[in-house]
Amino acid sequence: MDENALFAVGTVLAALGGLPERKGVCTTHELAETLGGVAYMTQEAGDAYKDRAAYIGSWAHMVRSAALGAGNASTN
Averaged over successive runs of 10 residues, the pLDDT of the chain (76 residues) comes to: 86 89 92 96 96 94 89 55
- Which pTM does this prediction carry? 0.81
Q: How many domains does the chain have?
A: 1
CB neighbour class for 47 (10 Å; exposed up to 12, middle 13-18, buried from 19): exposed
Give the helix ranges, DSSP H, for 17-75: 18-22, 28-44, 50-75
Q: How far apart are CA 54 and CA 20, in angstroms?
A: 25
Domain that holds residue 55: 3-75
* pLDDT reported for residue 47: 96
